[in-house]
Homo-oligomer: A and B are copies of this chain.
Amino acid sequence: MIAILRKNASDEAVSSIVSWIEGKGLTAHVSRGSNETVIGLVGDTTKIDPFLLESMDVVQRVQRVSEPFKKANRKFHPADTVIDFGGGVKIGGGAFQVIAGPCSVEGDNLIKIARRCKSAGATMLRGGAYKPRTSPYAYQGMGERGLDLLLEAKAETGMPIVTEVMDVRDVELFVDRGIDVMQIGARNAQNFNLLKEVGKTSTPVLLKRGIAGTIDELLMAAEYIMSEGNDNVMLCERGIRTFETRTRNTFDLNAVPALHYLTHLPVVADPSHATGYTRYVEPMALAACAAGADALEIEVHDNPAEAWSDGAQALTPDQFDRTMERIRAIRSVVADMAREEA
């Protein structure tokens, strides 16, 4: 961390700030130029609040030099993290998968949908058993019965399952039941206690970016999970909130290459939530694939008009067949590029 002092900083003010820094257990390297005095802070800068430092009279600007995320940082772990679900299903490091299924687990149609997703080419199954809903009067999910149905679908199709955990008290259950991927939803992206709790397990986590979460906050949320010992984290861009209302969210696909630059963790993209409308899911799935996403998560429902949630953004199995074909075509070009670079 660097503190740039005001031009008129007196020697006294400089010593006072140096003492303050040393009082926090860090070393302060003062460099007085003819124009600017700069203090370099060396040591555990997580103990320094940059806003507080900048609020001091003699300080003009504070600039972080090192990033606050460590375990998630590509600088310290250059190689891509690859998450292996067995049976050849991996995400990251060049391996690409499509996760598909209904928004909510609703009953026996899950197996039917799962079979269609698999035959279209999806390799992982999604479905919500516990649902975070804006309204307390909306459908809240099947709960544990939903997990049963997901596990039956897994037994039948062999697809690893991805499902959201909303409550710290449920994490143990998810682990006991053998859920393959615990999803942390956008509304819980800064529910730090939940992040810590899934961090204590070894189950892979699909971590969604917050409704209006920055890329750095997403990385810091991953850091919460990893700091507890669980390195199996996938980051998911699912659209952010902006002023635009023609689509449900604004799909920030810039985040895909930006995350690849900043972190070694796999990057998943969710064109269903990011657009909100069935008609935009296919082009944006292709765009996410071309941008380099390591996986896509796509909502598929056998009868969107009767879906219990998010029917407006679901693909039918027939639509999904075509979309998967096109994803494969784009993915094949992207994979060629990757091989060329390797």
A191 partner residues in chain B, CB cutoff 8 A: 187-188, 191
> For A138, what are the chain B residues with a Cβ–Cβ distance below 8 Å?
46
Number of interface residues of A (CB under 8 A): 108
**In the assembly, what is the distance between CA of A257 and CA of B269, in Å?**
17
Partner of A135, one of B35, B46, B247, B278: B46
In A245-268, the 8 Å CB interface with B consists of: 245-248, 250-258, 261-262
A173: CB under 8 A from chain B? no
Minimum distance in angstroms from A282 CB to a CB of chain B: 8
> Complex formed: what's the CA distance from A243 to B242 in Å?
5
Q: Tell me which residues across on chain B come within 8 A of A255, comparing CB atoms.
A: 244, 246
- Asked if A137 CB lies within 8 Å of chain B CBs, one says yes
Most chain B C-beta atoms within 10 Å of own C-beta, residue among A216, A217, A286, A290:
A290
A288 → chain B closest CB, angstroms:
7
A106 CB–B CB distance under 8 Å: no
Which residues 32-86 in A have Cβ within 8 Å of B in the complex? 33-36, 38, 40, 42, 46, 49, 51-52, 54-56, 60-61, 63-65, 68, 70
Contacts of A289 in B (CB 8 A): 290
Q: Is there an interface contact between B243 and A243, defined as CB atoms closer than 8 Å?
A: yes
B residues in contact with A166, CB < 8 Å: 192-193
Query: Is A324 part of the contact surface with B, judged by Cβ < 8 Å?
Result: no
B280-A258 in contact (CB<8A)? yes
Chain B residue with Cβ nearest A137: B46
**Closest Cβ–Cβ distance, residue A95 to chain B (whole Å):** 18
* Binary B-proximity of A288-313 (CB < 8 A = 1, otherwise 0): 11111000000000001101011111
- Given contacts A246-B254, A286-B334, list 4 more A-B pairs with CB under 8 A: A212-B212, A283-B290, A287-B288, A290-B290
Using a CB–CB cutoff of 8 Å, the interface residues on chain A facing chain B are 2, 4, 20, 29, 31, 33-36, 38, 40, 42, 46, 49, 51-52, 54-56, 60-61, 63-65, 68, 70, 132-138, 166-169, 187-188, 190-193, 196, 210-212, 214-217, 220, 223-224, 227-228, 239-248, 250-258, 261-262, 274-280, 283-284, 286-292, 304-305, 307, 309-313, 326, 329-330, 333-334, 336-337
